[in-house]
């Protein structure tokens, strides 16, 4: 650290309580993204609950219940909002403690720059490097957009944050920072990989048949992406690339197996490019000062125009249900909110634009409800109030354990037929009858 940076560092150091004093009633406050939760600043701000009202606190996917919620269960002082729901936000929402902000992920930074003004930003970062930069670590995403509209920028140092190389706009220089807080240095939250189900394994086998040498991967989180990654690692497919919204543990295994080289990518060649990472310490240690990986803002990574520049993009995403009109719901069960649009629409759209690209919507053919009844996930119409995540005009492939349905260029009755063919056999006759009732096809084209 140079003399100038050291002097500036000491000058800008404040306590968490002083950082909390920056917030006024009616302010909009940013709490960082994903596992980078501003623990010390949140704790200090919670002490001021009775002094404040109508403080709008926003984050991208809370991974810890904020103290400001614990001290204000009636939402008299703080209002939480989230751009993408995970487990924590979903539970808070169910208890009327958090709102969802709908967003197509690649538009996030632009939406912020056009419409939102943050009064105070709390960013969890790693220690300052010798050149005076604080690295964002595991979440680039919308952070650059947020700080471009921030009146006060506070960085909270956590020495456990890995230094994640860019890319672009993955760090902030001390000259742009208003205040510096020493954090609690708590270990970062870990999200262990889910064990794949037998159905996940069957779906993964269908997907593996569609992945060829030089494919560029986008995999999400969950049992299915994990088993796809494992099967690829054990396969003879070579020269895979990575251009993904979320970097997870399965990519580490893929890279270590030698399957990922990035040599056939057209952009960010040889790099595993991503916008945020969430997994276990294995992933976090892999990312630390690793020039194989490149962190970018989400308006680059998730822009369908950028995605499509690589050839053979394979995008694998999960859904809750798909109806016979081929509309995809991936974020709610009826009106019960579960997740968010995230980057699903971005990557399904971008993969289709890629030369040789394929965008897959994956789901088990059935689910079992709380009463123990088996229900089809391919349904006549989406549940009342269900959110359409991917419109029928954008859907390319839908995959269940019974096969793959390619829907582009197909008429409504051809789509319904293809979807019924990959539905659970126990529901096919019923779905045929429902399609007939809804006049999706003429009788001459009806499935026999």
Give catalytic residues, as residue numbers.
245
- Strand pairing partners for 332? 337
Radius of gyration of the chain (CA): 23
DSSP string, 263-306: TT-SSSTT-EEEEEE-S-HHHHHHHTT-TTEEE-BHHHHT-HHH
Helix or strand (DSSP H, E) at 250: helix 249-256
As a whole number of angstroms, the distance between CA 268 and CA 313 comes to 14
Rounded (5°) CA angle 79-156-288 = 115
- Strand pairing partners for 260? 240
DSSP class of residue 189 equals: P
Burial tier of 23 (Cβ tally within 10 Å: 0-12, 13-18, 19+): buried
SS3 261: coil
**C-alpha neighbours within 13 Å on the C-beta side of residue 427:** 23
Q: Pick from 97, 102, 93: which is nearest to 336 by CA?
A: 93
Residue 284, phi then psi, degrees to nearest 5: -65, -40
DSSP string, 116-170: --EEEEEEEE----TTSEEE-TTB-BTHHHHHHTEEEEEEEE-TTS--PPBSSS-
Q: Pick from 123, 173, 135: which is nearest to 289 by CA?
A: 135
As a whole number of angstroms, the distance between CA 296 and CA 328 comes to 28
As a whole number of angstroms, the distance between CA 364 and CA 448 comes to 24
Tokens 């026999």 sit on residue = 448
DSSP string, 17-63: HHHHTT--TT-EEEEEETT---HHHHHHHHTTGGG---EEEEEES-S
């Amino acid at each position: 650290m140079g003399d100038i940076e050291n002097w500036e560092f000491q000058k800008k150091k404040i306590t968490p309580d002083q950082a909390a004093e920056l917030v006024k009633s009616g302010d909009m406050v940013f709490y960082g993204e994903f596992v980078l939760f501003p623990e010390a600043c949140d704790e200090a701000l919670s002490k001021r609950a009775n002094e404040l009202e109508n403080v709008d606190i926003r984050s991208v996917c809370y991974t810890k219940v904020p103290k400001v919620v614990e001290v204000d269960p009636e939402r008299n002082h703080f209002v939480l909002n989230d751009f993408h729901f995970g487990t924590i936000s979903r539970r808070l929402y169910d208890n009327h403690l958090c709102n969802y902000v709908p967003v197509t992920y690649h538009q996030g930074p632009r939406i912020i720059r056009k419409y939102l003004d943050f009064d105070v930003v709390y960013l969890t970062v790693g220690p300052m490097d010798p050149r005076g930069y604080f690295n964002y670590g595991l979440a680039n995403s919308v952070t650059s957009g947020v700080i471009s509209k921030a009146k006060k920028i506070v960085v909270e140092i956590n020495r456990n944050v890995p230094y994640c190389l860019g890319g672009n706009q993955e760090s902030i220089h001390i000259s742009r920072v208003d205040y510096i807080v020493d954090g609690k240095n708590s270990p970062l939250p870990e999200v262990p990989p889910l064990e794949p189900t037998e159905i996940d394994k069957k779906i993964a086998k269908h997907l593996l048949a569609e992945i060829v040498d030089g494919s560029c991967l986008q995999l999400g989180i969950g049992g299915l992406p994990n088993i796809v990654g494992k099967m690829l690692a054990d396969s003879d497919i070579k020269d895979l690339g990575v251009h993904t919204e979320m970097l997870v543990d399965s990519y580490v295994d893929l890279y270590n197996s030698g399957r990922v080289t990035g040599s056939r990518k057209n952009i960010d060649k040889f790099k595993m490019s991503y916008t945020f990472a969430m997994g276990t310490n294995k992933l976090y240690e892999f990312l630390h000062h690793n020039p194989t990986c490149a962190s970018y803002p989400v308006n680059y990574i998730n822009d369908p125009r950028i995605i499509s520049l690589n050839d053979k993009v394979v995008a694998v995403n999960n859904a809750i249900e798909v109806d016979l009109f081929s509309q995809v719901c991936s974020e709610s069960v009826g009106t019960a909110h579960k997740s968010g649009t995230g980057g699903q629409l971005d990557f399904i759209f971008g993969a289709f634009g890629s030369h040789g690209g394929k965008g897959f919507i994956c789901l088990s053919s059935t689910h079992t409800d709380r009463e123990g009844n088996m229900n089809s996930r391919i349904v006549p119409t989406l549940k009342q109030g269900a959110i359409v995540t991917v419109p029928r005009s954008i859907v390319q492939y839908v995959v269940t354990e019974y096969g793959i349905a390619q829907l582009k260029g197909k008429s409504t009755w051809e789509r319904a037929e293809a979807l019924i063919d990959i539905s659970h056999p126990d529901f096919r006759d019923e779905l045929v009858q429902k399609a007939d009732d809804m006049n999706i096809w003429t009788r001459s084209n009806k499935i026999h």
